[in-house]
Amino acid sequence: MRTPALLLACALLGGCPAPALLPPPSTLANRTTLDERAAIRVEQLYQAAALVAVEADRLGLVPAAARARIAAADARAYAAVQAVRAAYDVGNAPGYAAALARAEAAKTALVAAIRG
């Protein structure tokens, strides 16, 4: 709640310098880079797990009864990865953090489904 009060005080006093309100550009750039790396990591981990599932099935290592379970886990993991990308693209920080956590859980569930 300090920000609205600060903005009001700045308006009443004739303005405040911009650096007082914003972090340095390097801080914003570092956060963006870390966020992008996290999104890429989530996508790569999903792709690796999905590739293992496809190859295991192709090699006949997946029992027929497990295919539906793996397919459902794969669909959830893919949706979670898309949610991470969407939250990153719109700059939704709370949604992004939650989406990262859901994607990690979905990837773990996919790996567990593959292992049986």
Q: How far is it, in rounded angstroms, from Cα 82 to Cα 76?
A: 10
Q: For the whole prediction, is pTM greater than 0.85? A: no
pLDDT in tens, 16-57: 555 556 666 666 556 667 788 888 899 998 999 899 999 999
HSE (side-chain half, CA atoms, 13 Å) at 71: 7
Closest C-alpha among 71, 81, 85, 69 to residue 106: 81
pLDDT in tens, 65-99: 899 999 999 999 999 999 998 888 888 778 888 99
76-103 in b/e form (b: 16+ CB < 10 A) is: bbbebbebbbebbeeeeeeebeebbebb
